[in-house]
Chain A
């Protein structure tokens, strides 16, 4: 079996053998436990006002409460649905447009100026307009998330088309491939890794926009949970919301990484 590069005992810059997976896990445990200990210590010694920094146990009990009455699952579910819907729309729109722009100079010449005009505007600045246009319900949030995720996916998809190796195209031509077959088997295949990178960056942006949209106008979701905690001085709820966002983001990124491993298997096999 080939060894995955990321789990091999690679050497660090000074030539010493880098950590084994077991040691790395152990260090990770120590690092996170250390942070929790510090947090606990600060609250136990009452260095900071309890209202501003709740004890770990309080956040845990806030978690237990909202987990048992189902409210946490509702907030997580709504946020997850929004981000997945928005991301899916972005993927479905950005990849075909990127392919079009990557393949046809005229399409690129026409669309690129608009993209370059809109791209520097942070998607968060578009939220008020989206609320006016599409209302305060789900539609506006999903569309803003899609808008935010759209640009990283588009830009990377276009970049993928520049990385096509001319020799690969010639090899396919000499084997009798038609233009369409070259597009399918060489050009798209060469662009895949870039599209995947774009998707991961897009997901990161979708997540930022999700939380911003929920903070500004929402009556459910993790962003709402945080904002609601602020209004009611429930700092434990704020911490809970932040932790959930962290975990959700981690899991979504992990899911995309797994999809990448599967889709680009050839990149992950070593010597």
Chain B
């Protein structure tokens, strides 16, 4: 952790506010994310965690404050920030292989280079034999693996994941968490992962950013010192789970009390 901190932050967020019409989605958010780090944004629905991710992606714009990636302010989406969506968002008219090749193809990669690239990343998510299929021929878990391969094949500096496993059943979900950690350890991309699952955050993250709602803001940032590979049913895992759960509970009671004090 400490060696990461000494480097410059790859994502730097200061005093960030996002306003949707009359609704304040985010208020005064400050966060640094370091290169190679796995950060989870955790919180109840409505806390602005997806808005924060979308702001980093360049899909929504700050109404105040600054947000920069690699020292440059974010003004639009770009290939340096790969995106994985909860609803997969694979292009149904392209085959699995064409989906994975789409980003590199836009950059002008062609021929054997392009095929090698898609072979590598489909191999990484263990879907090599499905290259010629269409997304609607795959299960949800397989689709999300294709979506991860598609994002990675474009060689982004940062991988942004918006509740990517939220629509999957519990078993598939854990299998994909394992797979994501393996990929992340191989590829060492910076990951920002939105979730409302505490267990998921404890299993995946180097740091857990706990968010609160109304208005959306950061409540606490907790280090996750658990060594990898992590054991889901271990005592240290439960200890950390309980600690973060405590923070999360104050956030929730606070949110419930808020309308009456307002």
Q: Give A contacts to B, CB under 8 Å.
A: 2, 165, 167-168, 170-178, 181, 185-186, 189, 192, 264-267, 269-271
The answer to whether B89 and A165 touch across the interface, beta carbons within 8 angstroms, is: yes
Contacts A165-B89, A170-B59, A266-B92: A176 and B136 contacting too (C-beta < 8 A)? no
Q: Which residue of A lies closest to B94 (CB)?
A: A266
CB-CB under 8 A for A189 and B82, given A176-B106, A177-B106, A269-B137 = no
Closest to B107 in A: A176
| 13 further A-B pairs in the complex, CB-CB below 8 A; given A174-B82, A175-B103 | A167-B89, A171-B90, A173-B76, A174-B78, A175-B82, A175-B102, A176-B106, A177-B106, A178-B106, A186-B91, A267-B136, A269-B133, A269-B134
Number of interface residues of B (CB under 8 A): 32
Contact (Cβ within 8 A) B85 A170: yes
Whether A2 lies near B93 (C-beta < 8 A) is no
Which residues on A sit within 8 Å (CB–CB) of B137?
Answer: 2, 269-271
A185 and B102: CB pair below 8 A?
Answer: yes
A269 / chain B contacts, CB cutoff of 8 Å: 133-134, 136-137
Q: 1/0 per residue B52-90: CB within 8 Å of A?
A: 000001110000000000000000111101110101011
Q: State the 8 A-B residue pairs at the shortest beta-carbon distance, nearest first.
A: A176-B79, A174-B83, A175-B103, A173-B77, A171-B89, A167-B89, A266-B134, A189-B93
CB distance from A51 to the nearest CB of B (A): 56
Interface residue? B154 (CB, 8 A): yes
Do B77 and A170 have beta carbons less than 8 Å apart? yes
CA of A192 to CA of B92, assembled, Å = 12
Neighbouring A residues of B77 by C-beta, 8 Å: 170, 173-174
A178 neighbours in B (Cβ, 8 Å): 106
Q: Which residue of B lies closest to A265 (CB)?
A: B134
Q: In the bound complex, do residue A167 and residue B106 qualify as a contact, i.e. CB atoms below 8 Å apart?
A: no
Partner of B85, one of A167, A181, A186, A192: A167
Q: Are B81 and A174 in contact (CB under 8 A)?
A: yes
* CB of B150 within 8 Å of the partner chain: yes
Are A176 and B103 in contact, CB atoms less than 8 angstroms apart? yes
**In the complex the two chains form, is B102's CB within 8 Å of A266's CB?**
no
- Contact indicator A168/B103 (Cβ below 8 Å): no
| A189 lies within 8 A of B91 (CB) | yes
Measured between beta carbons, the chain A residues less than 8 angstroms from B160 are 174
Partner of A170, one of B89, B91, B103, B133: B89
C-alpha spacing A181/B106, complex, angstroms: 8
The residues of B that contact A165 with a CB separation of less than 8 Å are 89
Cα–Cα, bound, A178→B107 (Å): 11
- Within the complex, the shortest CB–CB distance from A195 to chain B, in Å, comes to 13
Mask: chain B, 126-139; 1 = CB below 8 Å from A; 0 = not: 00000001111100
CA A267 to CA B160, docked complex, whole Å: 29
Residues of A contacting B133 in the complex (Cβ-Cβ under 8 angstroms): 269
Q: Are A175 and B85 in contact (CB under 8 A)?
A: no
Bound complex: CA A150 to CA B43 (Å): 52
A-B contact pairs, 24 of them (CB 8 A): A167-B87, A168-B89, A170-B83, A170-B85, A170-B89, A171-B85, A172-B91, A173-B77, A174-B78, A174-B81, A174-B151, A175-B82, A175-B102, A175-B106, A175-B150, A176-B103, A185-B91, A264-B93, A266-B94, A266-B95, A266-B135, A266-B136, A269-B133, A270-B137
Distance A176 CA – B92 CA, assembled complex (angstroms):
19
Among B81, B87, B91, B95: residue with most chain A CB under 10 A:
B91
A170, A176, A271 interface centre (most CB from chain B within 10 Å): A176
Chain B residues with CB under 8 A of A170: 57, 59, 77, 83, 85, 89
Nearest-neighbour CB distance to chain B for A36, whole angstroms, equals: 42
Chain A: which residue is nearest B81 at the CB level? A174
Contacts of A271 in B (CB 8 A): 136-137
Residue numbers in A under 8 Å from B81 (CB-CB): 174
Distance from B197 Cβ to chain A, minimum over Cβ atoms (Å): 21
Most buried by B among A172, A178, A192: A172
A2–B134 alpha-carbon span in the complex (Å): 11
Q: How far is the CA of A171 from the CA of B82 in the complex (A)?
A: 9
* B 100-137 to A, binary, CB cutoff 8 A, 1 in contact else 0: 00110011000000000000000000000000011111
Task: Considering the complex, give the chain A residue whose CB is closest to the CB of B147.
Answer: A171
